[in-house]
């Protein structure tokens, strides 16, 4: 719309309308998949930290329960070392590396070397961004397939 003016093309409007019809179903799947995967990661010994408001261990879990019907499709997690992070990301097979949010396909980002690469160290500290942080946007795939991919990668780091 920035370069085209305030009126969108009719086909674009139709695509948005078509997507809105299934939004609630897709969000239910994003959220249920994310909760299952967050619980898996939270119980894994090679995962140092999981950041997901649906987990009871999240500092704002009680607030999130009051404000949300579900907890979204984005998970943050950290591994133990930078070396393990590089190996982990290389070992993933089903889960693709990329920066996105809310797509039908799951994407994972190694934050400090992707979107965080241009941040100064003081900015990363201010945002509590560790050098071992991943941002995982959960898609609509079978969550057991995603967990299997995470498991084989974590097992081999």
pLDDT more than 70, % of the chain: 97
Q: What is the pLDDT of residue 33?
A: 98
CATH no. of 24-155: 3.90.1150.10
Q: What is the pLDDT of residue 140?
A: 96
Q: In terms of Cα–Cα distance, which of 157, 156, 150, 155 is closest to 40? A: 150
Q: Cβ atoms within 10 A of the Cβ of 62, count?
A: 11
Q: What is the pLDDT of residue 122?
A: 81
Cα dist from 111 to 79, 114, 124, 128, whole Å: 12, 5, 10, 12
How far apart (Å, rounded) are the C-alpha atoms in residues 83 and 116?
A: 17
Compute CA 12 distance to the chain's CA centroid, rounded to the nearest angstrom.
Answer: 27
Query: Does residue 123 register a pLDDT over 90?
Result: no
Dump pLDDT digits (tens) for 34-92. 999 999 999 999 999 999 999 999 999 999 999 999 999 999 999 999 999 999 999 99
Domain ranges of the chain: 24-155
């Amino acid at each position: 719309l920035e370069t085209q003016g305030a009126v969108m093309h009719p086909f674009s409007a139709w695509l948005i309308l078509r997507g809105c019809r299934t939004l609630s179903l897709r969000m239910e799947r994003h959220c249920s998949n994310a909760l299952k995967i967050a619980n898996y990661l939270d119980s894994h010994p090679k995962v140092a930290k999981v950041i997901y408001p649906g987990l009871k261990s999240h500092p704002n879990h009680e607030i999130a329960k009051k404000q949300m019907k579900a907890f979204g499709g984005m998970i943050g997690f950290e591994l133990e070392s930078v070396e393990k992070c590089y190996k982990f990301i290389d070992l993933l097979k089903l889960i693709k590396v990329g920066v996105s949010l809310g797509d039908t396909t799951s994407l994972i980002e190694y934050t400090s070397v992707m979107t965080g690469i241009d941040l100064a160290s003081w900015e990363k500290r201010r945002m509590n961004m560790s050098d071992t942080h991943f941002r995982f946007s959960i898609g609509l795939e079978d969550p057991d397939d995603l967990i299997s991919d995470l498991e084989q990668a974590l097992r081999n780091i």
